[in-house]
Amino acid sequence: MASTARRLGGVGVAVVALIGAATANSMQRSKAINAASVKAQAQVDETLPRVIAGLEALSKDVAGKAERGARLQPVEDLVGQITSQSDVTQLSTTFAEFEVEPFFKPYASVGPHAYFLGEQPLYSSDAKLTDMLVPLARAATVSGTATALTAYGGSVWAVGVGRSEKTNPQQQPILFALGEQLTPALLEPLATGNQVAVVLVPSGKHQDAVGAGPTDAVESLKRRLISMKLDESPCCARKTIAPGVEVLIHKDPSPLLTEGANEASKTTPVFFGVGGLIALVGLIFAFRGGAKEQDPESAALLRETASQLKQSQEQLQRLSQQLSLNNTNRMDAPVTPAPQGDEGLGSTQASVQTSRYEIVAPLGEGGMARVSVAVVRGAEGFRRTFVLKRLRPELAGNQEVVNQFIDEARLGASLVHSNIVPVFDFGRDADGYFLAQEYIVGRDVDALIEASKAQRGRPLELPIVLLIAQEALKALSYAHTKKNDAGKPMGLVHRDVSPNNLMVSARGELKLLDFGIVKSEDRVTKTQAGVVKGNLFFMSPEQARALEVDARSDLFSMGMVLFSSITGNPLYSGNNVYELMTRAGTGLTDEDRARVKAECGPLADVILKALSLDPKDRYADAEEFAKALNTLGPAATTGELHQLMESLFATAFAEERAKFAVQA
């Protein structure tokens, strides 16, 4: 009976050992291949911005040709002669005659083209294009050139506009717009240089997609356009880069996946060797009898087997540790390259430390950073939740972007005010640069407006709008008058005051957030001349024109926030970014002013003053703006705003708190 039990036990040990070896080997193989998949997808994601930059470069090349076309000597000779409308009409005829002239053939052969006098169309080789080109012409009158990628006629076009050096007596330049169709031949160098396949999709029509690169990869991307459900292979990335224009790229992941499989195969002999030895010991135990029955030869065999088993286990442990280290170094390092040097707030030691922030849930992702809810744990059950903003790994090698991220953290940490979301921590760890901000259960003003419209059938009432505005102006007044440690004014301008950057907590507190593009005399990075950053729906005219801005630009944006809050919609509208930029750069029209007076009630006069085209005609500072609002009646209390938030978002807040409490 004992012998039977011993045999069954020994065989059981052998079976379990072999199954365990197979399971461990499968898990290690899955881990290695998953790590390789992550690396492959990271390489694709890292390549996408380079491809987009290459497409933008094609547009800039077209803009260069357009600028040369605008500065042709025959064109420059005509500009100064335009003094009347009849001259303009004659000019249109003259440009039509250019089509047959030898000097114009290099431009006519590129693609559709058009001439403008200022923003007035003069001549177009394709009349359907004229309306589409007008916004670009407006932009070029300010910046000298303008570019765009656009979908037209079933194709994707790189469009550029250039301006003449000379102007007519009314200071109007000649503008030449030129479009070049993006063909496989033009895309091929971009695909080859980045070792990817590239596909452009106009207006969401997969049948009109055009691509370059390896044929199989291009066809794979086109099939993805047709399929409603994309496969999960780590090969592809896609992004909408302009209205009606989407780009997809494919990078072959097989070398990295093969490498991962090869790494996994190295452990297979070890796992099965150890499992086999354990199985052998079990079988010997089962069929060689008990210790008393063993002859000296059997005992020696068992001792030798046990010794080999111990050595194999030690070898397996060393190999597993080495594989883990290799996976960390080889799979993660290319994704998050360790930045060299750090003149920001983080210590240099942080680059080799594991992150102490445990991700609970992702919140979103932008062009510079990924934002998540994260938790930090400490002794005796201590736990605190933060919003963790982490620099995208592929940007860690871009020192300009790193400096901008450091600036945001430094400036955010220096702003200590009850109406500003504080930055509590900044540093660099094994996952790259990060900053940690206060976690607020709440919603931004844009979400508040939309929820009010959806659930109550109306936007926000005047007392609520007054409270939001007054609290926001307190934050702006503090920021605008902030001085550095030397007592020198910092010259802070937020430059992105909008409903999305005004957070209302569940308790009814208002917080200004996102100082990522703030203007300051203390910044390391400076916005280049001619570069426009911010939200076009709420941007001041001088900011849209890429001119110098001061605190009064933020007050203009605050006026736009007031209009959206009380009416439920932004004042400006446009079909694309160029139309919006033109609207923002022009400022209010007579029609806009009439709309403000008709829809804003008691707020109308205050809003119109804040939205004056000339900054000198606006409120001098945030305090003066707030005083003007105080004359309109009592604002709501924080408690009343709290009640509104709970009535609109109670269920969502409860789910959010429960979710993060459990996951944290």
Residues identified as active-site: 496
Return the structure tokens found at 152: 């037209």
What's the rounded Cα separation, in Å, for the pair 391 and 516?
A: 12
Strand partners, 157: 150, 181
- Compute the half-sphere exposure of residue 562: CA atoms within 13 Å on the CB side of its CA: 33
What's the rounded Cα separation, in Å, for the pair 313 and 324?
A: 16
DSSP string, 172-184: PEEEEEEEEE--H
What's the rounded Cα separation, in Å, for the pair 310 and 306?
A: 6
Return the structure tokens found at 21: 């070896």
- Greatest C-alpha distance within the chain: 121
List the one residue out of 248, 139, 251 whose CA is nearest residue 202.
Answer: 248
Q: 321-333: buried (b, 16+ CB within 10 Å) or exposed (e) per residue?
A: eebeeebeebbbe
Q: Count other C-beta atoms under 10 Å from residue 362's C-beta.
A: 10
- Compute the half-sphere exposure of residue 40: CA atoms within 13 Å on the CB side of its CA: 23
Strand partners, 249: 198, 237
Is residue 544 within 8 A of residue 536, CB to CB? The reply is yes
367: buried, middle or exposed (CB in 10 Å: 19+, 13-18, 0-12)?
exposed
Is residue 177 within 8 A of residue 66, CB to CB? The reply is yes
Q: How far is CA 425 from CA 229, 356, 369, 407, 523, in A?
A: 40, 12, 16, 13, 18
User: Residue 29: enclosing H or E segment and its boundaries?
Assistant: helix 2-70
User: Residue 273: enclosing H or E segment and its boundaries?
Assistant: helix 268-287
Beta strand segments in 281-431, E: 358-365, 369-377, 383-391, 423-429
What's the rounded Cα separation, in Å, for the pair 519 and 516?
A: 9
What's the rounded Cα separation, in Å, for the pair 370 and 378?
A: 24
CA angle 600, 603, 607 (to 5 degrees): 95
Is residue 137 within 8 A of residue 161, CB to CB? The reply is yes
DSSP string, 103-135: GGHHHHTTS-EEEEETTEEEEESSGGGHHHHHH
List the one residue out of 482, 493, 506 whose CA is nearest residue 534.
Answer: 493
User: Residue 433: enclosing H or E segment and its boundaries?
Assistant: strand 432-438
Q: Count other C-beta atoms under 10 Å from residue 79's C-beta.
A: 19
Is residue 541 within 8 A of residue 557, CB to CB? The reply is no
CA angle 568, 569, 572 (to 5 degrees): 160
Return the structure tokens found at 320: 């597993």
